[in-house]
């Protein structure tokens, strides 16, 4: 078995006379102009190669990237989990699709089999075996999953594959949270490193549980080139690495953890080409990616009629979400601000009345709002009209929330705006589940006292580091 790291979540496996490529993304950005592949992918390894199988783990644009798939041979067969419901979209690109069930062991070639298992939130992992070696491609499927899900899959994989040779596991934040939140007194770099350190430790926990011969962090070759988020790159990539976290947590382990970069190759349990991950430097990005930076910061003009059209879509959402929004205890005033436009949309709650309307604002210093959400008009339109269109905002970091004060951020007030920003076919579930408000709050208090609550991975109070606080 020979495995070449192409870049981000893409590996090329050569085994039993066939080739299996995973999650190819290297042609153009994804999530609009938000995510850029860096360091550059090692596309020389696949250029001109015939690919027999392509595994698509899930539907996020950095894993299911139609622009890159369109550059590959159409007779490649696409492997997906039946539960991801990706087959129709893949077939539209002209590929044959093989949909696999969780318990299915599928033969790829003589002696070569694979399994594709759904884990959490429509994500999947792939296990590949030739009878001699085993490679587990976890991508994004477990490091952000609840710990009971992680433990269940560690146990299952160890049962199916008692001796694992290679684990490729994601460790990236893969979310707009918490770096797309501007809060008075917040230390952005320390917050980004605090968040990344959590996922580094999840990576280490998964690797320790699976106990492979080799483990490689991957699926995080992403930089932001938009001015508002350019600062994220260095603290996210250059703080403690997942391999360092593993060595700190498990100093006696015999697992070989290697921080790889595109072009790395391992074959028959021996590293044959060493390419290590290097720090990301802002000056290097500016020197090597001037055209990409220009494109990432290119905003089209936004007309008043464009804003009015989006406001009508938001009003449709408001009608669907009205009962949910009215159940919030308190008032608020939000502004949706569009890049390169003096027009915005005001969302306001007073008592039990929630309203919205287009407004013309001072683009430089809009005042009087609890939260200002800044995005591109095409992103918000996409979010409101397409299924999963909100991924460009909330996975791809396509907008920034700016708070007027810290106390409102600790209450996660922005969560009252988020239901309006995505396509809704039905009202949101009650914030209190099937219980009354008072019973729900009592139950949550008991769970906290008993230590039975999972950490809230999207709580601003827990994940933001403020300048007055010691580093975590």
Class of domain 2-295: alpha beta
pLDDT in tens, 362-417: 654 678 999 999 999 999 999 999 999 999 999 999 999 999 999 999 999 999 99
pLDDT in tens, 169-188: 999 998 999 999 999 999 99
Closest CA to 216 of 457, 1, 7, 20: 7
Per-residue pLDDT at 306 = 96
Ordered per-residue pLDDT tens for the chain, 472 residues: 999 999 999 999 999 999 999 999 999 999 999 999 999 999 999 999 999 999 999 999 999 999 999 999 999 999 999 999 999 999 999 999 999 999 899 999 999 999 999 999 899 999 999 999 999 999 999 999 999 999 999 999 999 999 999 999 999 998 999 999 999 999 999 999 999 999 999 999 999 999 999 999 999 999 999 999 999 999 999 999 999 999 999 999 999 999 999 999 999 999 999 999 999 999 999 999 999 999 999 999 999 999 999 999 999 999 999 999 999 999 999 999 999 999 999 999 999 999 999 999 765 467 899 999 999 999 999 999 999 999 999 999 999 999 999 999 999 999 999 999 999 999 999 988 877 776 767 777 777 677 767 779 999 999 999 987 655 5
Closest CA to 318 of 384, 244, 233: 384
Cα(95)–Cα(401) distance, rounded to whole angstroms?
A: 39
Beta bridge partners of 15: 18
Per-residue pLDDT at 471 = 52
Does this chain's domain 2-295 share its CATH topology with 304-421? no
pLDDT in tens, 235-275: 999 999 999 999 999 999 999 999 999 999 999 999 999 99
Cα(139)–Cα(452) distance, rounded to whole angstroms?
A: 28
| Token pair for 281 | 């430097």
Residue with tokens 């979010």: 383
| Token pair for 256 | 């070989």
Cα(202)–Cα(172) distance, rounded to whole angstroms?
A: 10
Per-residue burial over 239-257, b = 16 or more CB atoms within 10 Å of its CB, e = otherwise? bebbbebbeeeeeeeebeb
Q: Where are the domains of the chain?
A: 2-295, 304-421
Just give the CATH number of 304-421.
3.30.1050
Cα(409)–Cα(460) distance, rounded to whole angstroms?
A: 6
Closest CA to 416 of 286, 318, 289: 318
Per-residue pLDDT at 106 = 98
Helices and strands in the chain: count of H runs, count of E runs: 14, 23
């Amino acid at each position: 078995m020979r495995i070449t790291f192409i870049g981000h979540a893409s590996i090329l496996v050569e085994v039993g006379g066939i080739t299996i490529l995973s999650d190819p993304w290297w042609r153009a950005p994804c999530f609009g102009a938000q995510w850029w592949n860096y360091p550059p992918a090692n596309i020389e390894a696949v250029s001109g190669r015939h690919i027999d199988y392509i595994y698509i783990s899930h539907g996020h644009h950095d894993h299911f990237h139609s622009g890159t798939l369109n550059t590959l041979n159409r007779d490649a067969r696409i492997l997906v989990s039946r539960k991801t419901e990706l087959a129709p979209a893949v077939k539209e690109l002209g590929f044959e699709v093989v949909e696999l069930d969780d318990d299915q062991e599928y033969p790829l070639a003589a002696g070569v089999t694979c399994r594709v298992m759904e884990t959490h939130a429509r994500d999947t992992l792939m296990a590949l075996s030739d009878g001699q070696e085993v490679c587990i491609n976890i991508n994004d499927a477990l490091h952000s999953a609840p710990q009971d899900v992680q433990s269940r899959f560690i146990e299952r994989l160890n049962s199916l594959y008692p001796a694992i040779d290679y684990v490729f596991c994601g460790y990236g934040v893969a979310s707009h949270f918490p770096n797309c939140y501007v809060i008075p007194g917040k230390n952005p770099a320390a917050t980004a490193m605090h968040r990344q350190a959590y996922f580094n430790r999840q990576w280490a926990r998964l690797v320790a549980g699976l106990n492979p011969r080799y483990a490689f962090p991957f699926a995080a070759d992403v930089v932001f080139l938009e001015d508002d988020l350019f600062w994220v790159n260095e603290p996210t990539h250059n703080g403690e690495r997942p391999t360092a976290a593993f060595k700190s947590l498990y100093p006696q382990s015999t697992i070989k953890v290697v921080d790889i970069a595109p072009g790395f190759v391992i074959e028959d349990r021996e590293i044959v080409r060493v390419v290590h991950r290097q720090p990301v430097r802002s000056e290097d990005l500016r020197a090597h990616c001037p055209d990409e930076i220009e494109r990432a910061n290119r905003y089209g003009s936004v007309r008043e009629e464009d804003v009015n059209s989006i406001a009508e879509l938001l009003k449709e959402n408001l009608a669907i979400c009205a009962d949910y929004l009215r159940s919030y205890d308190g008032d608020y005033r939000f502004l949706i601000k569009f890049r390169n436009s003096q027009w915005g949309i005001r969302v306001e709650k007073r008592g039990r009345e929630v309203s919205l309307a287009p407004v013309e604002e001072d683009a430089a210093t809009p005042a009087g709002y609890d939260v200002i959400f800044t995005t591109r008009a095409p992103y918000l339109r996409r979010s409101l009209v397409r299924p999963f269109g909100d991924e460009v905002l909330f996975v791809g970091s396509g907008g920034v929330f700016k708070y007027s004060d810290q106390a409102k951020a600790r209450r996660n007030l922005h969560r009252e705006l988020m239901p309006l920003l995505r396509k809704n076919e039905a009202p949101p579930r009650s914030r209190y589940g099937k219980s009354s408000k008072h019973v729900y709050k009592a139950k949550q208090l008991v769970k906290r006292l008993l230590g039975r609550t999972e950490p809230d991975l999207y709580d601003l109070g827990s994940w933001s580091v403020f300048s007055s606080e010691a580093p975590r």
